[in-house]
Structure 1
């Protein structure tokens, strides 16, 4: 099975190294096998070279070291060994690929990081999220064509264009698989198999994890915290995110983040505005939740985004006290500008309020897009050339002239 973009001798190079080292099986696994079958068997358009993930029944570090020693830095210019994980990242003949030692895993508690140890290829496939990602192309059988290893009905689910979990506790063990499922469903135009949908809804409703929203944030399991954030970042960066979020709401899976996001009928509109205003989509999603500060900390979002949410909440409090009780609908552009800028509110904070369709979003949008850019018809240099002395009076004249221009703005 050819994969466009892979040099013809790359697989042969890997096979030969495995043979020389006397290792067991080497296999291409995951998305590359799935996408190759979709392209060659089901005639999907080629979506571009996916990540190349190889699993070897043996030491991935030993295999990578042997390759580097034999081929040199010309063919392998980059090589990164992650010994504690049994994985290697490397560039071979211009192609990024990952090598991993085949492993088995066990979840000590739902949502926690799994405990892994060396295992067989079939054990490694059982660690995967969906059947369509649990197929392997076994490469190192000497003198034979590569063999497709499908132990969990992946080909059948590919033909049905559906996503099926590998076992009954898949979501309980790792709820990030639900976000990943939305990513795949949006990208591949797949649906969630009925039994998989039932598992998502039953598990989310039962909430089998020891931590619940409102509990101490230091006790959040990784799959409900940092790993969940990483999946969301991939969703927004790589996928048709509107369709992916629609899937999450349709699957009743949003309570993994926040119950309010599940019932928010304007969520797509909010995020569409955020995208147009260059507000980070994850930041807008979290701000639309019932508890933005707690959720941002739970996901361990970048500090800059956490600070933006904190400032936006402060802005909402200020608006509730100093704007909403008054006849703001009749305020002029000058009044809005003077009121906002007297508090030195950051434009990014105002953009977030506009994106989330706050009650004053229209005049705030005008300030963000136009009014804040209006300048005085003359400059400080003009005044100095007319004989005015530097000092506070000069700045006051410039501000007053700018406000006069804004009085006529809309």
Structure 2
């Protein structure tokens, strides 16, 4: 559906979009359109009275090559106005700033999936084909820009209707099968906008996950996992955890029975929100805390290709859990004082982050673990090495032992 519109963006964007449209139309090819979140949020503001969300960037799609338009912009506006140019020729995209406004410029394209969860095969296409490859109908609308400042709203998939219903609707019946990260994206938008999956979209999620169409299965090697269940899934989760109301988003994933995309155990974990809340207080990455609750944290971390340091924390956490089970819970650990706990924890040489992850597990001995993390590990000898050397001790094992004993004397007085 194509409709005229009085839809406007903040006044700071209007002259810029008009200038871009003029430069593009002077090339004499195709259409230039604003797409994505800016169009969706502008419609929410103007037609439904939602607060205006200033877009962090402007997504523009051109029919044809982006190279010609980028060259014209650089020649016309000059290096003072056009800055931070980053071109990806293989994808037909470019990032740049014009007068400080971040612009994502992309050639219109089509996508086809050779197998579920794989990366798509991309070819140049029309604006209509570009909209048809997107995730949700509310993100598949475009404002075609004309040099005179007029705009034409293109809504071929009923996005305005779904905006009015606060629905997230996929564009076709195999959307989740092609790209399961769309489910995580749905949780992001649902949490941010207060939307819910349309009934047919919820049925698609439930059915697709119940039959698990991907060739890769849990327990298979991580190096053969399709990207949408590996690295792309991690990137979507990072956006969810870093930028969105993550508690609401994770609750949506559980409500949709979608957590098996990560690990079946996470679907029934009742304290997932509490875990991540504690992780935030302890300065832990939310992703590490989430993966730590999986049935096999190491396998999931490898599949998602998490940073090596975080994988090491998880490995240490498993060692620490084993130690707690075998050495702590079988003894009268409740009688241990600060000194005893500090000796035993530090003898294990676990990282501070691994101990913090163990605190997030909420074991029976959570309190002393937390006290070590927050207080006891910071205790130092009340007398310095320099002072001990002034008393006649030489650098070496004897000096180190003296410092250790002085520190332990302090710990022995603490609770």
Shift of 1:389: 4.1
Residue of 24, 37, 46 corresponding to 2:43: 37
The alignment status of 1:106 with 2:112, answered yes or no, reads: yes
Shift of 1:47: 2.2
The alignment status of 1:290 with 2:295, answered yes or no, reads: yes
Residue of 130, 137, 140 corresponding to 2:143: 137
Aligned to 2:324: 319
CA deviation map 1:145-175 (0-9, x unaligned): 2011001110011111111111111101100
d(CA) in 2 for partners of 1:401 and 1:123? 72
Shift of 1:100: 0.9
Please identify, of 63-72 and 176-185, the stretch whose mean Cα deviation from structure 2 is larger. 63-72
Contact 2:57–2:101, Cα closer than 8 Å, also in 1: no
Write out aligned runs for 1:232-271 (5 A).
Answer: 232-271=237-276
d(CA) in 1 for partners of 2:392 and 2:168? 76
Runs of 4+ in structure 1 deviating by more than 4 angstroms, as ranges, are: none
Could you tell me which runs of 5 or more consecutive residues in structure 1 were left unpaired when the two chains were aligned: none
d(CA) in 1 for partners of 2:406 and 2:148? 84
Paired residues, what number? 409
Shift of 1:322: 2.9
Shift of 1:320: 3.1
Contact 1:4–1:49, Cα closer than 8 Å, also in 2: no
d(CA) in 2 for partners of 1:5 and 1:394? 69
d(CA) in 1 for partners of 2:303 and 2:185? 19
The alignment status of 1:21 with 2:27, answered yes or no, reads: yes
Contact 1:308–1:349, Cα closer than 8 Å, also in 2: yes
Shift of 1:346: 1.6
Contact 2:241–2:286, Cα closer than 8 Å, also in 1: yes
* Cα pair distance change 1:6/1:336, threshold 3 Å: same
Contact 2:37–2:55, Cα closer than 8 Å, also in 1: no
Aligned to 2:400: 395
d(CA) in 2 for partners of 1:135 and 1:7? 18
SS at match of 1:21: coil
d(CA) in 1 for partners of 2:198 and 2:25? 40
The alignment status of 1:73 with 2:79, answered yes or no, reads: yes
* Cα pair distance change 1:245/1:5, threshold 3 Å: farther
Aligned to 2:3: none
Shift of 1:144: 7.1
The alignment status of 1:123 with 2:123, answered yes or no, reads: no
Residue of 348, 360, 366 corresponding to 2:353: 348
Shift of 1:51: 2.8
d(CA) in 2 for partners of 1:383 and 1:265? 53
Aligned to 1:64: 70
The alignment status of 1:163 with 2:173, answered yes or no, reads: no
Aligned to 2:278: 273
d(CA) in 1 for partners of 2:29 and 2:125? 13
d(CA) in 2 for partners of 1:206 and 1:48? 40
SS at match of 1:78: strand
d(CA) in 1 for partners of 2:95 and 2:407? 57
d(CA) in 2 for partners of 1:299 and 1:389? 50
CA deviation map 1:229-279 (0-9, x unaligned): 000011111101111101111111000000000000011111111010011
Write out aligned runs for 1:351-362 (5 A).
Answer: 351-362=356-367
Residue of 293, 305, 311 corresponding to 1:306: 311
Residue of 85, 92, 102 corresponding to 1:86: 92
Contact 2:36–2:140, Cα closer than 8 Å, also in 1: yes
SS at match of 1:398: helix
* Cα pair distance change 1:45/1:266, threshold 3 Å: same
Shift of 1:5: 6.7
CA deviation map 1:148-206 (0-9, x unaligned): 10011100111111111111111011000000010001111111111111111111111
Contact 2:48–2:164, Cα closer than 8 Å, also in 1: yes
d(CA) in 2 for partners of 1:353 and 1:340? 12
> Alignment RMSD, CA only?
1.5
SS at match of 1:182: helix
